[in-house]
Amino acid sequence: MLFSEEFEELKHVGRDQPCTFADLPCNRPKNRFTNILPYDHSRFKLQPVDDEEGSDYINANYVPVSSEVIH
């Protein structure tokens, strides 16, 4: 398989994962790219500020890394 074909296949990875917090109207401006959104199950949550809607949102996900990879 060619690199370009593999790259095209990546567009479909994770499409079944919900990104509902990223799509809330108060959070949309915080997403630099509309096609790169954090998954709900692994998004990084900030400390909320005075019950301000969306204040716990940042476009970021936790990424699990094996301890063998960390140097």
Q: How far apart are CA 23 and CA 17, in angstroms?
A: 13
Q: Where are the beta strands (DSSP E) in the chain?
A: 43-45, 57-61
Where are the domains positioned within the chain?
17-71
pLDDT mean by block of 10 residues, the chain; 71 residues: 90 89 97 94 95 95 83 62
Return the residue matching tokens 């479909």: 12
3-class SS of residue 33: coil
The tokens for 19 are 């990104």
pTM of the model: 0.74
Buried b / exposed e over 49-60, threshold 16 CB at 10 Å, is eeeeebeebbbe
> Which pLDDT score, from 0 to 100, does residue 68 have?
78
pLDDT of residue 64: 86
